[in-house]
Amino acid sequence: MKQDSSLKKYAILTVTMASFLTPFMGSAINLAIPSIGREFNSGAVYLSWVVSSYLLATAAFLLPFGRLADIVGRKKIFTYGIVLFSVFSMLCGLAWSIQALIVFRIFQGIGSAMIFGTGMAILTSVFPPHERGKVLGINVATVYTGLSMGPVLGGVMNQHLGWESIFYLNAALGLVILLLAAIKLKGEWAGAAGERFDATGAVLCMVGLVAFIYGFSSIATSVWSRYILAVGVLVILVFIRHEARVEQPILNMRLFSKNITFAFSNLAALINYSATFAVGFLMSLQLQVVMGFNSQTAGLILLSQPILMALLSPFAGALSDRVQPRLIASLGMSLNAVGLFIFGFINMNTPTWFIMINLAILGTGFALFSSPNSNAIMGSVEKRYYGVASSTMGTMRLVGQAISLAIATLMIDLYLGSAQLSAENANLILKSVSTSFFVFSAACLGGVFASLARGSVKAVEKPGV
């Protein structure tokens, strides 16, 4: 019993520390984007790829690594992921050009995929069903703590130590997590040990996602992007057909066709992240370029959103152990739709206090959505699918984030083209920000219906899972 208690303690400590790492990096880098642009003399498109290249790589590799972890061991893939993430975090800080930075961010994203595809599966393997919502809520709260500290600490570090220091800090934190996992996280979890890895499915998955997201995000700047987008859609359809036929697939398509809770919970996650992830990127531009705040002050303003996420997520997760997750998550997504719509009317003279209140509304909505939605997904599958479910959920999140940033980039491209992100173009930036928020609000409203359609978790949850 003592060993079981110790395993639970170190599992949640290790996984939550890793869950802190990647969102901290993402939100901190948002504040450093203008500084990186000035150092490398880069326009909006290159700068958006500093963020989206990481997301793209993570999304492309997440499902293959999630499935591989189920076969060879979740701790093993998790540990290798921490190593890769830390090494390339250091190299990002040493980057000599914007192109080198983007390449290093791609490899950092691959490491992130190995972490994302296994962390939640490890927690679900270690903790029993009646504790799942609470534990996943704590894990989500840690994610939002990373998001909370990112703007503040990232803004301060960018202001006083340079944007490189953000990457160096991530490398150091990664080393601490690696030592903790190697020394204290005892045991291994491989729910599909001995099964075959579908290499063909993995390649189709990666090629399809990369082509789809790249094509979509570049559609305003490249004539070829529409063809790349079409190829991405075609490859994804081939991937789905292949997965439905192969005996031991990367992604079991029956989880979608036979499990309404799993299918609609993942759809709701995809829509929610597609509508909300770019908020930090857009508001960073709004506050620093349009309204003239420095990165430190902008970070403190942006803190209003993630601090509410961190405070409310454990409560929402625990509540979803007793109340149907779809009800709580749908309420959260409704709040997101309202907050995004309000931001559509933002201008140069919008009061700071009003921006902070609306960010708090978005933070509340996201907290109410994320933990219950994660609980619904992990509670709707059998143990042997924990790695696949975790990585599918992560894929929806990261594809949604990449789509969100692609939409924001598309709007910026439509209004600014190749113009610099500077105060001289503040009106054009403002128009692109406002249009983006209206699009995101409409998407989020549609997501409410997907969230409500998922049905009852308890009706599909298997005993002993």
Task: Report yes or no on 461 lying in a domain.
Answer: no
Instruction: Of 19-33, 50-64, 331-345, 446-460, give the range with the top mean pLDDT.
Output: 331-345
HSE value, Cβ hemisphere, 13 Å, CA-based, for 459: 11
Mind listing the pLDDT tens digit for each residue in 351-360? Answer: 989 999 999 9
> Looking at residue 423, what is its pLDDT?
67
Q: Percentage of residues in the chain with pLDDT exceeding 70? A: 88
The answer to whether the beta carbons of residues 196 and 118 sit under 8 Å apart is: no
Range among 66-75, 330-339, 370-379 rated most confident: 330-339
Alpha-carbon distance 281 to 404, whole Å?
Answer: 10
Tell me, what's the pLDDT at 421?
64
Distance from the Cα of residue 39 to its chain's centroid: 27
CA distance 239 to 203: 9
Is the pLDDT reported for residue 326 higher than 70?
yes
Name the band, by pLDDT with cuts 50, 70 and 90, for residue 342. Answer: very high
Q: How many CB atoms lie within 10 A of CB 159?
A: 17
Contact between residue 337 and residue 388 where contact means Cβ atoms under 8 Å apart: no
Asked if 124 and 385 count as a contact pair (C-beta separation under 8 A), the reply is: no
pLDDT tens digits, 63-82: 888 888 878 777 888 889 98
Per-residue pLDDT, 129: 67
Among residues 275, 307, 288, which one has the least CA distance to residue 404?
275
Least confident of 286-300, 361-375, 385-399: 385-399
Note whether residue 396 is domain-resident: yes
Number of domains in the chain: 2
Residue 324 scores a pLDDT above 50: yes
pLDDT at 10 over 80: no
**Would you place residue 361 in the very low, low, confident or very high pLDDT band (cuts 50, 70, 90)?**
very high
**2 pLDDT higher than 70:** no
Query: Can you point out the beta strands (E) in 301-429?
Result: none
Q: How far apart are CA 433 and CA 372, in angstroms?
A: 30
Q: Which of 173, 142, 123, 109 is nearest to 398 (CA)?
A: 109
101 and 189 housed in the same domain: yes
The helix-helix angle for 74-93 and 44-72 (nearest 10°) equals 160
Residue 36 identity:
I
Which of the given ranges, 95-99, 214-218, 323-327, has the highest pLDDT on average? 95-99
Angle between helices 386-416 and 98-126 (to 10 degrees): 150
Burial 87-125 (b: 16+ CB within 10 A, else e): bbbbbbbebeebeebbbbbbbbbbbbbbbbbbbbbbbbb
95 and 242 co-located in one domain: no
Q: For residues 377 and 245, state if they share a domain.
A: no
Closest CA to 32 of 169, 211, 159: 159
DSSP state of 163: T
Residues 314 and 447 in one domain: yes
Give me the phi and psi of 293, to 5 degrees please.
Answer: -75, 150
Tell which of 219, 249, 279 closes a domain.
249
Vertex 323 angle, CA 395 and 461, to 5°: 55
CB 120 within 8 A of CB 11: no
Same domain, 56 and 100: yes
State the average pLDDT over residues 11-29.
Answer: 78
Q: With 50 as the cut, is the pLDDT of residue 1 above it?
A: no
Average pLDDT over every residue of 388-399: 76
The verdict on 217 and 355 lying in the same domain is: no
* pLDDT beyond 70 at 244: yes
The tokens of 252 are what? 């079991």
Q: What are phi and psi of 451, to 5 degrees?
A: -65, -40
The pLDDT of residue 300: 79
Whether 362 and 274 share a structural domain: yes
Instruction: Give the pLDDT of residue 318.
Output: 76
**Whole-prediction pTM value?**
0.75
Tell me what pLDDT residue 4 has.
Answer: 63
Among residues 280, 25, 57, 10, which one has the least CA distance to residue 173? Answer: 25
- What pLDDT was estimated at residue 31? 72
- Counting beta carbons within 10 angstroms of the beta carbon of residue 2, is it exposed (0 to 12), middle (13 to 18) or buried (19 or more)? exposed
- pLDDT at residue 187, as a whole number: 67
Residue 336 lies in a domain: yes
Residue 39 sits in the same domain as residue 143: yes
Q: How many CA atoms lie within 13 A of 258 on its CB side?
A: 7
Distance of CA 429 to the CA centre of its chain: 25
Inside any domain, residue 358:
yes
pLDDT above 50 for 459: no
Asked if the model's pLDDT at residue 330 lies above 80, the reply is yes
pLDDT in tens, 159-190: 778 888 888 988 998 898 888 877 777 766 66
Label residue 234 by pLDDT band (50, 70, 90).
very high
pLDDT category at 455 given cuts 50, 70, 90 is low
What pLDDT is recorded for position 220?
A: 63
The Cα–Cα gap between 457 and 461 comes to 6
pLDDT at position 460 is 39
SS (H, E, C) 187-240: CCCCCCCCCCCCHHHHHHHHHHHHHHHHHHHCCCCCCCHHHHHHHHHHHHHHHH
What is the Rg, in whole angstroms, of the alpha carbon atoms belonging to the chain?
Answer: 21
pLDDT at 464 > cutoff 70: no
What digits encode the pLDDT tens for the residues 106-160?
999 899 888 877 777 777 777 776 676 677 777 777 776 776 677 677 777 877 7
Pick the closest to residue 197 from 251, 276, 143 (CA basis): 251
Same domain, residue pair 383 and 420: yes
334-343, 345-354, 428-437: range with highest mean pLDDT: 334-343
Q: Which of 179-183, 187-191, 327-331, 337-341 has the highest mean pLDDT?
A: 337-341
Q: Which residues of 229-255 are buried (b: 16+ CB within 10 A; e: fewer)?
A: bebbeebbeebbebbeeeeebbbbbeb
Q: Is residue 464 part of a domain?
A: no
Residue with tokens 């219950």: 372
**Polymer length in residues for the chain:** 465
Give me the domain span that covers residue 71. Answer: 2-197+250-452
Q: Are residues 88 and 222 in the same domain?
A: no
Are residue 93 and residue 233 in the same domain, yes or no?
no
Residue 253: pLDDT band with limits 50, 70, 90: confident
Please choose, from the candidates 193, 196, 133, the residue with its C-alpha nearest in 3D space to the C-alpha of residue 373: 133
CATH of the domain at 43: 1.20.1250.20
Is 435 within a domain? yes
How many CA atoms lie less than 13 Å away from 246 in the CB half-sphere?
20
Beta carbons within 8 Å of 410's beta carbon, 6+ residues apart: 216, 217, 219, 220
